[in-house]
Amino acid sequence: MSTTTYTVKGMTCGHCVSSVKEEVGEVPGVTGVEVDLATGLLTVSGQGPVGDEAVRAAVRTAGYEVADPA
């Protein structure tokens, strides 16, 4: 099992969280999605590695952006 954490920019409400969870949850290989509105953290779990670009694309489809690591 693999887990990757991202920071999502622009989420301001529960609907934002739901949108991100729904889109990322549809990425092939994803088995779990947790989103923390207060911190903007998105934690993605999968049985194996989940494609980074696929997760980023799903976040963009939901209307948000993944912050690049500092």
Structurally, the chain folds into a number of domains equal to 1
User: How confident is the model over 12-53, as pLDDT tens digits?
Assistant: 999 999 999 999 999 999 999 999 999 999 999 999 889 999
DSSP 11-49: --SHHHHHHHHHHHHTSTTEEEEEEETTTTEEEEEESS-
* pLDDT at position 28: 95
Domain that holds residue 16: 2-66
Report the alpha-carbon distance of residue 30 to residue 37 in Å, rounded: 20
Residue 43, domain CATH = 3.30.70.100
